[in-house]
Amino acid sequence: MSRIAVKMDTDTIPVTGVQELDKHLDELLADPTLLPTAKLFDDVELQLTDANIPPLIPTLLPKITEILKQYQQDPSILCSLAIKLLGPLNFTQIMSLASEESIIQALRSPAPSANILAMTVLEKAARSPSDAAILAMMNNVVTNFLAQWLSAPQVGVGEKGSKVLGDLLDVDCDTRPPDGLSVNGMEIAVRKPPGQGLVWRRIFQDRDIYDLILSHCTDGRLSSQQQSLAQGRLLRVLPRLAALNFRAVTWTDFTDLNQRYANFNGNGGLLHFAALHMIDKEDMLVHLNLIDFFEALLSIQRVTPFSTYKMETLSKLVKDATTQDDTLKKAILTLPERTIPEEAEDLTRFIHEVINSQ
């Protein structure tokens, strides 16, 4: 086997099999119908560390990127190695090696491994406000990311997309809680400097993206099963986003889209759409998602800074949601019983404040 030596301080750590893998990548480039030789990929990938990856990137990553553009077989092995190679790189370094078009192609791929590879690249932008701001300018990338997050049938792709979206909006938030937030021992927002708010504006103030989200969750463009998955993904991410910027998720200027997709008037934003107008409550699974959503929303909002706007909005939201939904109302009233003891009393008080201010 060949050995390419990678310098590490005083040690030289050999990575075996790189030349053989490089030759195999040339073969896959020449014939996209070939099956990959898994052992060649595995042997190299298992040896990789953040320290010995950088010298291999110029050799391996451009070829993998080109293969993925035309590959006709399952790309899981290729994507796995690509993710490992991207490990030590930041977002701007990756985007100097990969085009926006290649990210979009991976997002649109029917292969979940390609979707997750692309989302792993976008996740890098959540490491700093400046990188998030760069991503916010890539309108087509953001649009395709949100579309695939909502429409992918694979649970793993949906979960990855939810995490990436939440982390991006977290680091980009310009109104973030200065001391962070934790609920039931789980960290919702970490303590860090505010971001620039550009990703927030891209998602919540872009008419096309607001249209995309509402249409994927309501108008039948997806199968009924996939629409339910899309609704569940939106419901799960919104409580975290509401903790970061309550105003952004409860207000929109696109009232005509509210009317078109959900048949309601007014400036209520994605939170109102999801909580009151999105789901069929006869669907038991989706209704359970709605109950989980309200429980998470109220638990988190208990520890966010007080505002009259917040309390009035929550009060009306709960009132409208529970008027003809006794199951939801009972779940909200008994929520403190399912909360850790140290927080149950405060949560009871907060819920009664919300309900009694109606």
Tens place of pLDDT per residue across the chain (358 aa): 344 444 433 344 678 999 999 999 999 999 989 999 999 999 999 999 988 999 999 999 999 999 998 888 899 999 999 999 999 999 999 999 889 999 999 999 999 999 999 999 999 999 999 999 999 999 999 999 999 999 999 999 999 999 999 999 999 999 866 666 666 556 666 567 789 999 999 999 999 999 999 999 997 788 999 999 999 999 999 999 999 999 999 999 999 999 999 999 999 999 999 999 999 888 888 899 999 999 999 999 998 888 999 999 999 999 999 999 999 999 999 999 999 898 899 999 999 999 887 5
The encoded tokens of residue 167 equal: 């982390």
For the packed helices 100-108 and 112-124, what is the interaxial angle rounded to 10 degrees?
140
Euclidean distance between CA atoms 89 and 16, whole angstroms: 22
**Residue 242 and residue 249 in contact, taking contact as beta carbons nearer than 8 Å:** yes
Instruction: Write the burial class of residue 16 (CB in 10 Å: 0-12 exposed, 13-18 middle, 19+ buried).
Output: middle
Helix (H) or strand (E) segment spanning residue 14: strand 11-16
The encoded tokens of residue 284 equal: 């038991």
The encoded tokens of residue 264 equal: 């309601």
Euclidean distance between CA atoms 51 and 6, whole angstroms: 8
> Among residues 138, 159, 157, which one has the least CA distance to residue 209?
138
> What is the CA 128 to chain-centroid distance, rounded?
16
Euclidean distance between CA atoms 96 and 309, whole angstroms: 44
At 182 the pLDDT is: 63
Helices and strands (H and E) in the chain: how many: 20, 4
Rg (alpha carbons) of the chain, rounded to whole number: 23
Concatenate the DSSP letters of all residues of 273-334 into one string.
Answer: IIIIIS--TTSHHHHHHHHHHHHHHHHHHTTSPP-HHHHHHHHHHHHHHHTT-HHHHHHHHT
**Residue 65 and residue 94 in contact, taking contact as beta carbons nearer than 8 Å:** no
At 68 the pLDDT is: 92
In angstroms, the Cα distances linking 5 to 25, 89, 250, 293 are 20, 20, 56, 52
